[in-house]
Amino acid sequence: MKKLSHFKALINYYPTEKGGLVSPVSDGFRTAFQFPFELQTYIGAQILEEEELIFPGDSVSVDVTLINAESFLGKLYTGMDFEISDNTGTIGNGIIVAVYS
């Protein structure tokens, strides 16, 4: 069973020199999403639309599926910003451009 995407976002990945990705990532890449005024961090899978790989410093449009975030999904809105991180720290930021119901 395929999970439906929760929102479309424009994500700006920081270059390696600014603490961003060190190597490219592909479809299904999972990162931690931190939203403003929300204490909990959510894991999200990114589904690439056009690119096969995301490189450090890229800005890409992706569909995102949040994992175990059912209680938070109703709070998502177009224009909401967020940060993404992995185990090394913050690797980028983004903005929601569309919310799917």
Q: What is the pLDDT of residue 3?
A: 63
Question: 44-93: per-residue pLDDT in tens?
Answer: 999 987 778 999 999 999 999 999 888 888 999 999 999 999 988 999 99
Q: What is the CATH number of the domain that holds 71?
A: 2.40.30.10
Specify if 67 maps to a domain: yes
Question: Which pLDDT band, with edges at 50, 70 and 90, does 1 fall under?
Answer: very low
Contacts of 2 (CB under 8 A, 6+ apart): none
Dist. CA 64–CA 8, nearest whole Å: 6
Question: 9-56: per-residue pLDDT in tens?
Answer: 999 999 999 988 899 999 999 999 999 988 899 999 999 877 789 999
- For the CA atoms of 56, 98, 36, 48, what is the dihedral angle to 10 degrees? -30
- The single-letter code of the amino acid at 72 is F
Specify if 83 maps to a domain: yes
Pairing of strands 7-13, 30-34: unpaired
Full domain range(s) for residue 38: 7-99
- Structural domains of the chain, count: 1
